[in-house]
């Protein structure tokens, strides 16, 4: 085997080693890829430089060989064939050299792409952390609002219980007042059955009949169709009824010429007063 062939074999071995080194570097651990890539790039660059020097030397040797072959062409045709073979191998070596350069460039681009991907992943990670912190803050706010609502609900429930107790007490008082009123009506009825109508000299209030002309439930104002001309005075009480059924009692607090107004005594009111209901100062 000639010296040139040996050199080509060594070059092929170096190229194979370089290619395996580049592949191992590419498949290395992600955290060390930058260091490994730098080391591999430096190693490959050194090998490329060596290959370039060897290529130049081989070119020189090839030129020398061609010169020697030209000088000895007449006597050694075999050297011409070997020279052609060497030139062919040199062409293949150049092709491999170019392929390695292309692979090196692709590895460099892959490294840049990986770096960009890592930066994007870090950006997404930071964004997710910020969103998590924001969500935790919103959750804490929601928990505080929930606790506040629970506290307010308990307070309202306590107030409702208190109001329910007050309503129960008022219902008791209303029942007692209604019972007293019924007893009073019964006494008045028995009195009238035995002695006739109760005279003005006894009650001090003349018998006055009226009709409800207007009602303001929100302000508790009841308007009647009688006034000063009908001898109505402040403080008079009109018993309001409907179809001979007791509805409420209205106390007069304002008197005009032909009408008056007053308020309903809620504690003895049995039904809501409506326009058209009748009223009287005494039965």
Within a domain: 176? no
pLDDT value for 52: 83
Nearest 10 degrees: CA dihedral of 218, 221, 224, 227?
-160
Say if 210 falls within a structural domain: yes
Question: 109 and 209: one domain?
Answer: no
Same domain, 8 and 115: yes
Give the CATH number of the domain where residue 245 resides: 2.40.10.340
Q: What's the CA gap between 27 and 16, in Å, rounded? A: 17
220 plus 108 within the same structural domain? no
Domain closes at, from 75, 104, 133: 133
Where does a domain end: 87, 116, 133? 133
Phi-psi region of 189 (alpha: psi -120 to 50; beta: other; left: phi over 0): alpha
The last residue of one of the domains, among 112, 133, 154, is 133
List, for the chain, all residue ranges whose pLDDT scores fall below the cut of 50.
190, 193-195, 199-201
Tell me if 150 is assigned to some domain.
no
Has residue 36 been placed in a domain?
yes
3-state secondary structure the chain: CCHHHHHHHHHHHHHHHHHHHHHHHHCCCHHHHHHHHHHHHHHHHHHHHHHHHHHHHHHHHHHHHHHHHHHCCCCCHHHHHHHHHHHHHHHHHHHHHHHHHHHHHHHHHHHHHHHHHHHHHHHHHHHHHHHHHHHHHHHHHHHHHHHHHHHHHHHHHHHHHHHHHHHHHHHHHHHHHHHHHHHHHHHHHHHHHHHCCCCHHHHCCCCCEEEEEEEECCCCEEEECCCHHHCCCCCCEEEEEECCEEEEEEEEEEECCCCEEEEECHHHCCCCCCCCCEEECCC
Instruction: Output the pLDDT for position 159.
Output: 74
The domain tally of the chain equals 2
> Is 152 a member of any domain?
no
Cα–Cα nearest to 273, from 233, 234, 216: 216
pTM of the prediction? 0.34
Structural domain for 205, as ranges: 200-280
Question: Quick one: pLDDT at residue 193?
Answer: 46
Q: What is the pLDDT of residue 29?
A: 54
For residue 80, tell me if it sits in a domain: yes
- Both tokens of 134, joined, read 């924001």
Residue 153 lies in a domain: no
Distance CA(134)–CA(212), nearest Å, equals 65
Is 43 a member of any domain? yes
Residues 125 and 209 in one domain: no
Residue 209 shares a structural domain with residue 129: no
pLDDT at residue 182, as a whole number: 57
């Amino acid at each position: 085997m000639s010296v040139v062939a040996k050199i080509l074999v060594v070059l092929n071995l170096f190229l194979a080693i370089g290619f395996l080194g580049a592949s191992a570097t590419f498949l290395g651990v992600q955290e060390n890829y930058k260091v490994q890539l730098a080391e591999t790039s430096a190693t490959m660059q050194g090998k490329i430089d060596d290959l370039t020097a060897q290529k130049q030397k081989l070119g020189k040797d090839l030129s020398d060989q061609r010169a020697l072959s030209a000088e000895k062409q007449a006597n050694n045709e075999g050297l011409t064939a070997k020279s052609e073979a060497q030139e062919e191998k040199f062409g293949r070596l150049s092709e491999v050299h170019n392929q390695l350069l292309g692979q090196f460039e692709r590895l460099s681009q892959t490294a840049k792409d990986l770096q960009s991907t890592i930066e994007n992943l870090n950006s997404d990670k930071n964004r997710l952390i910020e969103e998590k912190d924001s969500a935790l803050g919103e959750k804490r706010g929601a928990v505080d609002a929930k606790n506040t609502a629970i506290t307010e609900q308990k307070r309202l429930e306590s107030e409702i219980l208190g109001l329910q107790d007050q309503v129960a007490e008022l219902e008791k008082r209303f029942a007692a007042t209604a019972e007293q009123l019924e007893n009073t009506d019964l006494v008045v009825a028995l009195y009238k059955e035995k002695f006739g109508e109760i005279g003005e000299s006894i009650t001090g209030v003349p018998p006055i009949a009226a009709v409800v002309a207007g009602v303001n439930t929100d302000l508790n104002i009841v308007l009647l169709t009688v006034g000063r001309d009908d001898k109505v005075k402040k403080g008079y009480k009109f018993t309001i009824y409907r179809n001979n059924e007791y509805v409420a009692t209205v106390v007069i607090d304002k008197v005009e010429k032909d009408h008056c107004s007053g308020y309903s005594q809620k504690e003895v009111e049995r039904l809501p007063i409506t326009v058209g209901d009748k009223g009287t100062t005494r039965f």
